[in-house]
Homo-oligomer: A and B are copies of this chain.
Amino acid sequence: MKMLKRIACCLWVLSAIFSFAQPPRTAQIESPVINADNTITFKFRAPKADSVLLSAQFLKAPQHMTKDTSGNWGITVGPVKPDLYPYNFSVDGISMADPANAYVFPNERFKASLVDVRGDVAPVYNLENIPHGTVSYRYYYSKSLGLMRPLVVYTPPGYDEESKKNYPVLYLIHGMTDTEETWFKVGKVNLILDNLIAQKKAEPMIIVMPYANPYPDLLKKDKTTRVDLLGTDIFSNEIRKEIIPHIEKLYRVKKSADQRAIAGFSLGGRQTLAAGLGHPETFSYVFSYAPAIFDRELNDNMKNIYAPADQLKKLKILWISCGKDDGLYGASKAFDNLLTQNNVNHRTLFTDGGHTWMNCRLYITETAQLLFKK
């Protein structure tokens, strides 16, 4: 980030001209700075604070920062394994994103900043000079919800230039408090697919990223709306009865179940299991990443939400992933065992790490290479 200093300097001079141009700017702190050895220096200006902590997804626990004589808090941590990490500060107990960093994690609830640590090898989400797909923001009207709904759709390189080829579709669901943007902006799914397709490791496919949380907008219409975040019926209906038909009308799409996949993270992993295992006639690939499922409900889900085991055998791939440090790991393992007991063919990938988007990128990278090849 050092080279940004020169441009920042120019901006200071220039912006004196634009007296009405800008809200008051952030103090001139440079944070984060990734050092040559992949340690990272974080800074935060708060001369009067008693304590500033750094929380970051490469740390096991928050770290105390120290204050210098000018009132700037700082800490250098690492070296850090190359990846794209969320982090934030806790200032006298108040969490906030890094005011010096414009790279923000889009989320409805928490405010985190992102730091992208690069190593000697370009990451799978690197922006390469290769053919790129397109990420489109669209709206559709959901009759069942009575709401305009957003959709983010990835079309692979060549989609616009072709006029006849039809593509398989992956429906990809975000986690709790994430939005339809998170798989794009943090998951980097477009760049990952662009790279895998260029390397001929993944089939060209369309990826549809809905906004799976209807409650903020439902509550705006009706304050008495009952909020049931763990319920899956609303989303299972919306995706099958509204989103899929909408996509199949708008895009050149292969329409058979063997050309349709669903995947999701966290609460989206739960929704993926409900929609995917509940409807094997609709989806042939079901990839659930760190699903928000719980031991106590697994038997009930098998009986009441998911299709009978003999129907689940039709699936081409059922996949469960979870980090071993994830609070949800135990339930994923229990579900793995229950599927084995029920003779439901499935695969698992249990990795290091927790309930993170670093793991999400790893899981989508692994599983995208399995899709639509059978």
Contacts and interface: CB of A to CB of B under 8 A. Distances in A.
A264 interface: no
A34 to B, nearest CB: 12
Interface in A294-351: 294, 323, 325-328
Interface in A8-54: 8, 10-11, 14-15, 17-27, 45-50
A94 B356 CA distance: 30
Q: Identify which of A10, A93, A97, A177 gathers the most chain B CB atoms within 10 Å of its CB.
A: A177
Contact of A23 (B95, B137, B175): B95
For the complex of A and B, list the 3 residue pairs with the smallest distance between their C-beta atoms, beginning with the closest: A20-B354, A3-B219, A20-B355
10 contacts: A11-B109, A11-B176, A15-B177, A17-B292, A18-B327, A18-B328, A21-B176, A24-B90, A48-B92, A129-B141
A362 interface: no
Contact of A135 (B86, B102, B136, B160): B136
Contacts of A106: 102, 104
A327 B20 contact: yes
Contacts of A14: 176, 229-230, 292
A136 B134 contact: yes
A96 interface: yes
A99 B230 CA distance: 26
Interface string A348-368: 000000111000000000000
B132 A134 contact: no
Contacts of A92: 46-48
Given A6-B227, A148-B129, A21 B327 contact: yes
Contacts of A21: 175-176, 266, 327, 355
Nearest to A29: B94
Contacts of A25: 95, 109-110
A346 B302 CA distance: 70
A232 interface: no
Interface of A: 2-4, 6-8, 10-11, 14-15, 17-27, 45-50, 55-57, 62, 86-88, 90-97, 99, 102, 104, 106-112, 127-129, 132, 134-139, 141, 148, 160-161, 175-177, 184, 190, 215-216, 219-220, 223, 227, 229-230, 250, 266, 292, 294, 323, 325-328, 354-356
A23 B227 contact: no
Contacts of A22: 109-110, 177
Contacts of A107: 102
Given A2-B223, A20-B325, A20-B355, 16 more contacts: A3-B223, A11-B229, A14-B229, A17-B292, A19-B355, A22-B110, A22-B177, A23-B86, A23-B87, A24-B110, A26-B95, A26-B109, A26-B111, A96-B99, A102-B109, A161-B250
A86 B23 CA distance: 8
A62 B24 CA distance: 9
